[in-house]
Structure 1
Amino acid sequence: MKQRVITAVVALLVFLPLLYLGGLPFDILITALGLVAMSEFLIMKKKLLVSVEAILAFLMMLAVLVPVFFEGFLTQGNLGGSFYFFALAMLVYTVFSKNRFSFDDAGVLVLGALYAGLGFRFMILARAESLWMMLYALLIVWITDSGAYLIGRKLGKHKLAPHVSPNKTWEGSIGGTLSAVVIVGIYLYFVQAQFPTSFPYDFTRMLLLTLVFSVGGQLGDLIESALKRYYGVKDSGKILPGHGGILDRFDSLLFVLPLMHFASLI
């Protein structure tokens, strides 16, 4: 527990100032997190981080996170150009790797780059939209997670998804979402009162979206649990002592942010 607290404090001391600053410093941090997330996919697949497939995977991730970096490469650096080029190169490598690197391996890395890469890309876009928008996403995830844990411990009886996450319960899940709707609703009320243009929708619609995003965040958590169970690992990585890896810490947010994009918030 002491290690978890120390890691959390240090991580917040790094993350929160850069979140407040926004711009290039925050973008660099999120890009670094995306690259670490890709390294976790590679490690779970038992692939070397210094290998042809790893280099192509990191380039795919960069193509998603910072498409402007590939400006002028193929189709003006957009996702469909540079990303697809590296994905095709990875498929070509399956031919020459003497079965050491398969189509299945390539599929995991391509999907991982899309899943984690776009999630972190939307984090950059959310902060570019406004600090209020990024805080909105973070509050949904943090409060849902905390509410589900606390209420689940007190009232949890019915297992939510025992095959992938045996400790989660329906009572905790519902309690976490209700907590998020109430507390984030208070946040929305005051922010919209002080900054009427901070969110594109009225209070009622934002409250309904909060409920949807809270459920989505829990699905992201379960997806990560299913992924780790499939690969037989406790944590996706070890970069955060006591907390696991980047995918472990950002699993819910990587699902919430794309949903916010689909809802035209970012």
Structure 2
Amino acid sequence: MFTRVITALIAVALFIPLVWIGSWPLVIGMAIIATIGLSEFLRMKKMRLLSFPSLLSLASVFIIVLSVSLPILSAVEVFSRIIVLTMVLLFLYSLVFQKTTTKDIAEIILMLSYVGIGFYAFVALRATNLLLLALVLVVIWATDSGAYLIGRKIGKTKLAPKISPNKTVEGALGGTLLASTLVFIYLFFFPLSDSLFATFFLMVIISVTGQVGDLLESKLKREYGTKDSGNILPGHGGILDRFDSMLLVLNVLFILGVV
């Protein structure tokens, strides 16, 4: 527990100033984090990080996040082409080195897109609306903390026993309730739009989506037979473990056009 708390304090002390500063430091920082996150998935797949498929996909996810600040074309045009180019090169590679299967390529492209767009959306949202990004972070962290604390106290009904045995329905509802309360307080001081209800409803969706993202990460780890995605954060696991809720939320915000 002591290691977990110390790691969390150090991470917050580094992460919050980076978000506050924004600009190129945040872009580079998020690009590095995205690259580490994808490398964790590649390790889960038992792929060598010095192999061509790994190096190509890691370079691609770095550039996808970096594209948010590129002056050429629009960022979406840049990273969509990167994803397609990576896919084509991997297919060509698999023709020569047949140990790389179509299934491998599909999994790599899927996670490359999911992780890359997630961290791209984080940087893009910081550039356009810092207050909204701050609220999203508050909702995700409050939901996670509330679900953990309330689930431990009164949780009895299993939410998804085959995926994450410790999560409960009571914890999930408690996490969303705590997040909703904090949203009202936040919006009282920092109104983000003319419609309080619309913003509140969006935050409830984010709270629920974050918990689904957590379950998705748990499912991924079970499929690949690992407890944690990595060990870069002592007591917390890896980047994918810590950004599990946020990644799905950011992908959904990208779909909704908020980013």
The TM-score, its normalising length taken from structure 2, stands at 0.94
- In structure 2, runs of 5+ residues without a counterpart are none
Structural mapping, 1:218-229, within 5 Å: 218-229=211-222
1:250 aligns with 2:243: yes
Q: CA deviation at 1:106?
A: 1.1
User: Residue 132 of structure 1 corresponds to which residue in structure 2?
Assistant: 131
1:207 aligns with 2:206: no
The TM-score, its normalising length taken from structure 1, stands at 0.91
Tell me which moved more, 25-34 or 53-62.
53-62
Q: Is the 8 A contact 1:56 1:86 kept in 2?
A: yes
Q: Which runs of 4+ in 1 moved over 6 A?
A: 68-73
Q: CA deviation at 1:232?
A: 0.6
Q: CA deviation at 1:59?
A: 2.7
One-letter identity of the residue aligned with 1:240: L
1:179 aligns with 2:202: no
1:238 aligns with 2:231: yes
One-letter identity of the residue aligned with 2:202: L
User: Residue 55 of structure 1 corresponds to which residue in structure 2?
Assistant: 55
User: Residue 94 of structure 1 corresponds to which residue in structure 2?
Assistant: 94
User: Residue 155 of structure 1 corresponds to which residue in structure 2?
Assistant: 154
State percent identity of aligned pairs: 41
- Note closer, same or farther for the CA distance 1:262–1:80 as it changes in structure 2 (3 Å cut): closer
Deviations 1:115-151 (A, max 9, x none): 1111111100111113212211111110000111111
**Secondary structure of residue in 2 paired with 1:6:** helix
Structural mapping, 1:57-136, within 5 Å: 57-67=57-67, 78-97=78-97, 99-136=98-135
Deviations 1:33-59 (A, max 9, x none): 000011011100111111101111113
- Note closer, same or farther for the CA distance 1:125–1:53 as it changes in structure 2 (3 Å cut): same
User: Residue 41 of structure 2 corresponds to which residue in structure 1?
Assistant: 41
CA RMSD of aligned residues (A): 1.9
Give, in whole Å, the separation in 2 of the partners of 1:261 and 1:116: 12
Give, in whole Å, the separation in 1 of the partners of 2:82 and 2:116: 14
Tell me which moved more, 211-220 or 6-15.
6-15
User: Residue 146 of structure 1 corresponds to which residue in structure 2?
Assistant: 145
Give, in whole Å, the separation in 1 of the partners of 2:68 and 2:4: 36
Give, in whole Å, the separation in 1 of the partners of 2:37 and 2:211: 19
Q: Is the 8 A contact 2:68 2:124 kept in 1?
A: no
- In structure 1, runs of 5+ residues without a counterpart are 193-198
One-letter identity of the residue aligned with 1:59: A
For these two proteins, the number of residue pairs brought into alignment is 258
User: Residue 196 of structure 1 corresponds to which residue in structure 2?
Assistant: none
Give, in whole Å, the separation in 2 of the partners of 1:146 and 1:105: 35
Q: CA deviation at 1:72?
A: 6.6
Give, in whole Å, the separation in 2 of the partners of 1:106 and 1:182: 43
Q: Is the 8 A contact 2:147 2:175 kept in 1?
A: yes
User: Residue 216 of structure 1 corresponds to which residue in structure 2?
Assistant: 209
Q: Is the 8 A contact 1:26 1:124 kept in 2?
A: yes
- Note closer, same or farther for the CA distance 1:107–1:69 as it changes in structure 2 (3 Å cut): farther
Tell me which moved more, 142-151 or 77-86.
77-86
